[in-house]
Structure 1
Amino acid sequence: MRKSRATWLSRISTVEMLFTATVTLVASLIGSWLKQLPVLNLFGALILALILGMLLQFPIRIGYVGRNDARRAGVKDAAGLISNKLLRLGIILLGFKLNLHVLFTQGLKCLPIALVVVTFTIVVCYAIARALHIDPMLAILTAGGTGICGAAAVMGLSGAIKVSDERQNEKDDDITMAVAIVAIMGTVFALLEIALGPLTGMTHNQLGLVAGASLHEIAHAVAAGAAFGAVDIATIMKLSRVLMLVFAAIAIAVWWDRFHAEVEPDGKRSIAFPWFMLGFIAASIIGTFVPFVSGIAPHLVDAAYVVLGMAMAALGINVNFKAIASKGRKAVLASFLASILLTCLTMGIAVLFF
């Protein structure tokens, strides 16, 4: 225990950790500010923080790291620690966004729809990705981000996938790729739905339901719902899908352990269980039923996005651009095809049941 504590202290009490934490915090805050601007609000704070982190990689490498190998290793370790630990804290805090009373009353009809569309999208997107010979880790992260709630889902599901230290860089690159892919797809389909939705002849509520059930990021669903004058149903439908993140993370943890877990040198398997998802549920319960906490829940959600933005910026700092260029194209196609099928499915559900 003392050795473990000493190791942690040695990793967090460094100049590189202070530098990296400051840089990622600034990137996260700038991303939160930029999301308020027209057009950029379709991307959301997390995607913007990731992009800023990727851009900052170059000045950090040239101006701060230089040829100092120890400093390079320190920044890499600090960014990895921030992306790994803060994403879990951010997901827990994001639970305060879920008002269970609203979901289980006004959104009661949306919950079974969310279960159907999330299951359908993850299974179909993963199947398409594997048919295109995409590796299982990138395939499932892309499928989860497409089916549930974009970047937050990718980061949440990544906690259900445990890999060896040797493969951690590969995992980080896959997370970054999946986040970028669902950001692109979500933005493209949000613009398409806003432009073409009124031409379908569906009612405002039906269009709002489709937006909440098919678009990837919460920002996308809210933007499209507002354009249709149905932001409430779009938001409730989207939050119903966010709730599915808990069950999806647990199911994927079990599935990954069963079919893809790595074997340790002592013969044991690397098992990961997303315990932080229990914190996500606890936060949603506390935020819904504890009066004092429910009053400050919006501020806690803002804090969640700042923390998650730091994790995203840290991913961007460590991203391998060559890996993204070589592996990302087929994953984009898989998400695109799955998004088309998801939109068609949700339009059918909207016409039949709303």
Structure 2
Amino acid sequence: MATVSSNSPLAPIQSPRGRLNGILFVALFALAVTQLAALPRIAGLGISPLIVGIVAGALYGNVLRDAVPAGWAAGINFSARQLLRIAVAFFGLRVSLQEIAEVGWAGLCVSLLVVSSTLLIGWWCGTKLMKLDRDTALLTAAGSAICGAAAVLAFESALRSAPHKSAMAVGSVVLFGTLSMFLLPWAINAGWLPLDTLGAGLFLGGTVHEVAQVVGAASNVSPEATHIATIVKMTRVMLLVPVLLVVGIWVSRSRRPGLAQGNGPITLPWFAFGFLALVVVNSLQVLPGSVTQAVNSLDTFALTMAMTALGIQTRWSQIRQAGPRALVTGALLNVWLVAGGLAITLAVQRLLG
């Protein structure tokens, strides 16, 4: 049986049976990843199945890449592209307008200011300071600004960027998001940060990368802070739609040399509108709670499949080409999220508190 070339990422080969086999392979891989992520030691660290999926997929794709039949590439590519878009759209069922309204203008202002400033700083640091290409800079900025790996996936699909660029951005989210999850609540509890319960919730929800990391961090402060932080975090998630549209228009109009990197204009994604529509559906509460919970569980599994497929398509040699520049960009963004996010939280509390 023919196998995928060891020198390049998987290239789709059209075969209905091979496509189905590839999808089933990714599904079984994602199922194993889900079980692995559920282990107490991993779950206790706040590491989601999505993160475990891309790491495990990358290890398999690089160490055992010759074991993947070439005919399965189309199914793996489907999981990393089309399935990804559907899963991101269904992520909207996790957000409701009622929850966002609970934290009022303070939560919305913190989310807007943190997301917009982090995206701008991330793009400038990435493209101007670190000399990264447009896609890598935007993916890293989106993962830090909005909702971690899920935002990276959404931007990756819209930008149609190479899988290894998403892997670099996710790596940044994993490293600095995990550090923030452990260090920020410790600093708050130690009194190093001048935050009350409301401030702690606004700060953690507005600055920590992943949804799971936000919950893990805030739960070490108080139940009240956890509730506020989760709502603020989901407000950031909801900003994914307008951010994708604004960035899409901006990139499409940009024609300066060195910005587009030959990738062409960003595609305005249909799944962003699907995400927004499902936010409305969830807000209207037309679906039973049990149905919503089941769909969210399936959606998490679909996202895990997508991350696993992206990992399989990633090559270490491509990641090494960026050197430490992507990691430094992520580190600079994390410094801004802590220092700038604290300043934004305190200012918003003073003005609206």
| Counterpart residue identity of residue 84, structure 2 | L
Deviations along 1:4-40, whole A, 9 cap, x unmatched? xxxxxx946223x233222321232233333333452
- 2: distance between equivalents of 1:292 and 1:341? 39
- Residue 76 of structure 1 corresponds to which residue in structure 2? 73
- 2: distance between equivalents of 1:338 and 1:270? 25
Question: Structure 1 residue aligned with 2:82, among 85, 95, 99?
Answer: 85
**Which aligned segments of 4 or more residues in structure 1 are displaced greater than 4 angstroms?**
260-264
Pairwise CA RMSD: 2.2
Are the aligned partners of 2:30 and 2:301 in contact in 1 as well (CA < 8 Å)?
Answer: yes
Pairing of 1:1-354 with structure 2 (within 5 A): 11=14, 13-15=16-18, 17-41=19-43, 42-58=46-62, 60-62=64-66, 64-65=67-68, 71-72=69-70, 74-130=71-127, 131-162=129-160, 171-199=162-190, 200=192, 201-229=194-222, 230-259=225-254, 272-352=267-347, 353=349
Displacement of 1:102: 1.5
Query: Match of 2:220, SS?
Result: helix
TM-score (norm 1): 0.85
Q: Residues 38, 350 of structure 1: CA spacing in aligned structure 2 closer, same or farther, 3 A cutoff?
A: farther
| Counterpart residue identity of residue 289, structure 1 | L
Q: Residues 254, 338 of structure 1: CA spacing in aligned structure 2 closer, same or farther, 3 A cutoff?
A: same
Gaps of 5+ in 2: 1-12
Identical aligned residues as a percent: 26
Q: Residues 341, 81 of structure 1: CA spacing in aligned structure 2 closer, same or farther, 3 A cutoff?
A: same
Q: Residues 261, 97 of structure 1: CA spacing in aligned structure 2 closer, same or farther, 3 A cutoff?
A: same
Displacement of 1:142: 0.4
Worse-matched range after superposition: 217-226 or 33-42? 33-42
- 1: distance between equivalents of 2:266 and 2:148? 25
- Residue 165 of structure 1 corresponds to which residue in structure 2? none
Deviations along 1:235-293, whole A, 9 cap, x unmatched? 011011111111111111112212255889xxxx6551111100001111112214334
Q: Residues 151, 271 of structure 1: CA spacing in aligned structure 2 closer, same or farther, 3 A cutoff?
A: closer
Deviations along 1:129-180, whole A, 9 cap, x unmatched? 1211111110011001111110000111223324xxxxx6xx2211121112
- 2: distance between equivalents of 1:257 and 1:134? 19
- Residue 5 of structure 1 corresponds to which residue in structure 2? none
Q: Residues 306, 280 of structure 1: CA spacing in aligned structure 2 closer, same or farther, 3 A cutoff?
A: same
Are the aligned partners of 1:210 and 1:234 in contact in 2 as well (CA < 8 Å)?
Answer: yes
Are the aligned partners of 2:22 and 2:74 in contact in 1 as well (CA < 8 Å)?
Answer: no
- 2: distance between equivalents of 1:37 and 1:314? 22
- 2: distance between equivalents of 1:59 and 1:118? 37
Are the aligned partners of 2:143 and 2:209 in contact in 1 as well (CA < 8 Å)?
Answer: yes
- 2: distance between equivalents of 1:13 and 1:32? 27
Q: Residues 263, 55 of structure 1: CA spacing in aligned structure 2 closer, same or farther, 3 A cutoff?
A: closer
- 2: distance between equivalents of 1:129 and 1:261? 14
Displacement of 1:349: 3.1
- 1: distance between equivalents of 2:78 and 2:227? 37
TM-score (norm 2): 0.85
Are the aligned partners of 1:27 and 1:309 in contact in 2 as well (CA < 8 Å)?
Answer: no
- Residue 9 of structure 2 corresponds to which residue in structure 1? none
Are the aligned partners of 1:83 and 1:311 in contact in 2 as well (CA < 8 Å)?
Answer: yes
Gaps of 5+ in 1: 1-9, 66-70, 163-167
In the alignment of these two chains, the number of paired residues is: 326
Higher helix share: 1
- 1: distance between equivalents of 2:38 and 2:55? 16
Q: Residues 159, 253 of structure 1: CA spacing in aligned structure 2 closer, same or farther, 3 A cutoff?
A: farther
- 2: distance between equivalents of 1:309 and 1:19? 17
Displacement of 1:202: 2.5
Displacement of 1:126: 1.3
- 2: distance between equivalents of 1:39 and 1:214? 24
